[in-house]
Amino acid sequence: MIVSSAIERRYKLSSDEFKKDYVELGKPVILSGVTSNWSGFEKWSLKYFKNLSPELNIYAKKFCNNKIEICPLTMKKYIELIENYEKAPENNPLPPYCHDLPLFSLIPSLIENAQPFPINYLPEWYCYKWWRYCQFFLGSSNSVTPLHFDCLLTNNMFFQIVGRKQFTILLPEDAKHCYRQGWRWFLVNPENPDLNKYPDYKNAKPIKFIVNPGDILYMPPGTLHHVRSLDMSISFNIDWHTQKSSLTALAAITKGMPIQNLYYNFLLTMGLVLKVPPQIIFKFYKPYLNYVS
C-alpha cells in the first residue's frame, strides 16, 4: 500500500473551473484564498462560542468499537471539558466530539462571520439560506472521525476555521478494499491499518494531507475519509448535491442505501431536478440535520 499526499491545491479558483475540473470529474481538491475576508477567522474560538451561548444544549459523540454514543451537554460544559483536556491531555480523558451541529441555525449571529460565502461553487438552489445546510465540528486535539463516506452520497465542501486536521481519504473505487460495515462505515483504521485482519487494504490508495485554517476541502460523493484533529478545532461543512449526484444517489438504493437516506435524497432531487423551491423542501429535509447513522 502506498500512501500519497497527492491532492491538488488551487488558489482563488473560479466556480466554472471548480465545476469543470473537479466536480464533474469527481476529483478532490483543496481551495484556498476564498475565505480570506471572513471575520470568523479572527472572532471564532471555542471560548467565543462558550461566551456567546453558554446554556445551548448540544450533543457530542463518542466513537467506540464501531458504535456511536451520544452525550448531551451544554456548550459551556463541553468547552470546559476541552479546555481542561488541552491543559493536561495526559491527566484527562479525551472529550467526546461535537459532530454535525447545525450551529448557524442555533446561533444566527455567526452567519455574518462567514461572508462572502462562495455560494457560486454550489447549484443555485442552495443559495436561499445556504447556512441551514451547514454542520459544525467542534473538538479537542486528537478527536477522530473513523473512516466513512457521507451517507447521502453528497458532495462535501469542508471549511477549516481554527486548528489543523489530518485527513486520510480514499476514492470511492477503493471502498472494496476497506472492509465496509453497514452502509457508510469501514473497519480499517487508515492511521494504523491491521493488514493481518484486513489484508486487502494493501490494494487501496490512501491520500493523506493536512487541512489548515483558511482551506476548503472539496470531497466528491462517496469519498471515504478518516479525520484526526491535530489541534483544538472548529470546522464546518456543507453537503450538497448536483442534479447528477442526486440521481446517482437515488440509484444507490440498489446498493444498500437505507430507506431514510433515500427519502432525504428524494427531497433534494425534487428541489434540484424538479425545481421545487427550498422554502418547501427544507421543512421536510430538516430532520436530516439531526440524523445519526
Is residue 144 a contact point for Fe ion (CB under 5 A)?
Answer: no
Question: Least CB distance from residue 174 to ligand AKG, whole Å?
Answer: 17
Is residue 183 a contact point for Fe ion (CB under 5 A)?
Answer: no
Residues 6+ apart with CB under 8 A from 269: 241, 243, 246, 247, 250
Residue 158 contacts which entry, Fe ion, ligand AKG, none (Cβ below 5-8 A, type-dependent): ligand AKG
Question: Least CB distance from residue 148 to Fe ion, whole Å?
Answer: 6
Site track for ligand AKG across 158-197, x = CB under 6 A: x------x--------------------------------
Is residue 86 a contact point for ligand AKG (CB under 6 A)?
Answer: no
User: CB neighbours (10 Å) of residue 88?
Assistant: 8
Stretch in the footprint of Fe ion (CB under 5 A) among 17-25, 128-136, 146-154, 271-279? 146-154
Which of 44, 133, 137, 285 touches ligand AKG (CB under 6 A)? Answer: 137
Whole-angstrom distance, CA of residue 243 vs CA of residue 266: 11
Residue 140 contacts which entry, ligand AKG, Fe ion, none (Cβ below 5-8 A, type-dependent): none
Which of 61, 177, 225, 241 touches ligand AKG (CB under 6 A)? Answer: 225
Is residue 218 a contact point for ligand AKG (CB under 6 A)?
Answer: no
Which CB atom, from 84 or from 189, has the smaller least distance to Fe ion?
A: 189
Is residue 237 a contact point for ligand AKG (CB under 6 A)?
Answer: yes
Question: Least CB distance from residue 159 to ligand AKG, whole Å?
Answer: 9
List residues near ligand AKG by CB under 6 A. 137, 145, 150, 156, 158, 165, 225, 227, 235, 237
List residues near Fe ion by CB under 5 A. 150
